[in-house]
Structure 1
Amino acid sequence: MLKPALYLIPVPLGDTPIDQVLPAYNREVIAGIRHFVVENVRSARRFLKKSNPDICIDDLTFYELNRHTPATEVSSYLNPLRQGCPVGVISEAGCPAVADPGADVAAIAQREHLPVVPLVGPSSILMSLMASGFNGQSFAFQGYLPIEAGERTRRIKQLEQRVYAEDQTQIFIETPYRNHKMIEDLVRTCRPGTRLCVAANITCPDERIRTLSLGEWAKVSYNYQKTPAIFLLYK
């Protein structure tokens, strides 16, 4: 019988065979859970059915946790765990609670000394860092950069300063349809010798991970439009 805990359940980063990116143990855990906190009910149901074809979706209870969820409701999602039942957390892609609303429910569980169990699975942040050739001893994930042009330029300059002053890899993301604008802004703002890694569709059949100086990025052709990507900056 699965011990009562909040289980953080990773999902594939794209259309990748589950056996390729998730251990069999995760399926055993999923089979023992009837309550799930999810970012999107429809995609969570699809993942669970793909992971465990024998699972009866109609027997499960879903609690949706995203930017539309009132903060006052989040604590109630842990009521099954308080009553002795395991609860799973599933995000849209990758590891829940990392750049993800799932962190809110994990924080409540920690404050109440309820067990929190992270399961093994793909993280675009760590996998892109692994492949970039950049500093893996000191790095920072910055999330999304500002959209407004002036603020965005200032932020990029700050991150580049940290690269050189602290010898620290800077990692950030962008909405897929603005990927090209991000590269253009980095080329325009940073030193030509500063290096940029763009990691797109990690673990998927069309995975592309490329590290070049920004001077080189200014000269090469690329196509990352509408492609999930992560950006890493280093010297």
Structure 2
Amino acid sequence: MSSPILYLIPTPLGNADTPCLLAHEQKCIVNLTDFVVEAEKTARAHLKAFGVQTPIRELNLCTLNEHTPEQDIAKLLQPLQAGRNMGLLSEAGCPAVADPGAQLVALAHQAGFTVMPLVGPSSIMLALMASGANGQCFAFKGYLPAEKNARIECLHTLEKRSRQENETQLFIETPYRNDALLADAIATLHSETRLCIAADLTMPTQTIISQNIAAWRKMPALPPLKKRPCLFVVYAG
């Protein structure tokens, strides 16, 4: 008998009804009834758009987010332990990448269950692809410090690492601090360092600008990034 499967289900970066699964992948999940999700309201919208056949309100949705106690995560695998396939959904993009869920995946492997990642949008990969920076050697750093002086020091550190290791550096920020981060990066980084911003990826309002800091400093106005999901890419190699 084959092992129960934990499907890692990517979700759109924008509107829930934006297609993001291949047809054969959609067939894998339409009959699932058990899901681990980051936020129930968003997950219900995604699952409805995916064509899940069980009435949405009858689905078993368990929450896994940054507030979930570590000791409770293993309990979320109960459907697999009962012999049922289940799905893990991100709030947006790929599960377990800059997103809760990695520990659940690790526990599923540890217990001997099958883990099946499905193809879907990753803002990190899309930003890297569009940046013109080194795609052979790169690192995702998550969030930079919120405090200005610490953020500037971190930008210096990332730039230095990029120069020494020929390594592209990618990071994100809480959307309401995007403008402050962009301003600090332009003021702090070397004039020849490449900076790419990739905002609202896959959406009609998508904005991607990739140029060196000298060109950023000559722009008459910076793109407004407040409240927009955005990836920052720095390359000094």
Look up the equivalent residue of 2:153 and give its one-letter code.
Answer: R
Look up the equivalent residue of 1:226 and give its one-letter code.
Answer: K
The aligned residue for residue 227 of structure 1 is 228
- Say what the alpha-carbon RMSD is for the aligned residues: 1.6
Deviation at 1:103, TM superposition (A): 1.0
Q: Tell me if 1:102 matches 2:101.
A: yes
Deviation at 1:148, TM superposition (A): 1.7
For structure 2, list consecutive stretches of 5 or more residues without a partner in the other structure. Answer: none
The aligned residue for residue 14 of structure 1 is 14
CA contact (8 A) 2:197 2:209 kept: yes
The aligned residue for residue 164 of structure 1 is 163
The aligned residue for residue 137 of structure 1 is 136
Structure 2: how far apart are the matches of 1:219 and 1:22? Answer: 41
CA contact (8 A) 2:3 2:112 kept: no
Deviation at 1:26, TM superposition (A): 2.7
Matches within 5 A, 1:123-134: 123-134=122-133
Look up the equivalent residue of 2:190 and give its one-letter code.
Answer: R
Structure 2: how far apart are the matches of 1:129 and 1:58? Answer: 38
The aligned residue for residue 4 of structure 1 is 4
Structure 1: how far apart are the matches of 2:226 and 2:60? Answer: 36
Structure 1: how far apart are the matches of 2:18 and 2:3? Answer: 24
The aligned residue for residue 83 of structure 2 is 84
Deviations 1:128-177 (A, max 9, x none): 11111110000000000011222212211110011110001000001111
Q: Tell me if 1:218 matches 2:210.
A: no
Matches within 5 A, 1:6-155: 6-15=6-15, 17-19=17-19, 21-52=20-51, 54-155=53-154
Structure 1: how far apart are the matches of 2:136 and 2:57? Answer: 45
Structure 1: how far apart are the matches of 2:151 and 2:32? Answer: 43
For structure 1, list consecutive stretches of 5 or more residues without a partner in the other structure. Answer: none
Q: How many residues in Structure 1 have an aligned counterpart in Structure 2?
A: 233
Look up the equivalent residue of 2:101 and give its one-letter code.
Answer: G
Percent identical among aligned pairs is 45
CA contact (8 A) 2:32 2:52 kept: no
The aligned residue for residue 187 of structure 1 is 186
Deviation at 1:192, TM superposition (A): 1.2
Choose 166-175 or 182-191, whichever is displaced more: 182-191
Deviation at 1:59, TM superposition (A): 2.6
In the superposition, the TM-score normalised over structure 2's length comes to 0.93
Structure 1: how far apart are the matches of 2:54 and 2:133? Answer: 42
Deviations 1:176-221 (A, max 9, x none): 1111111111112110111100001111112111101112222322
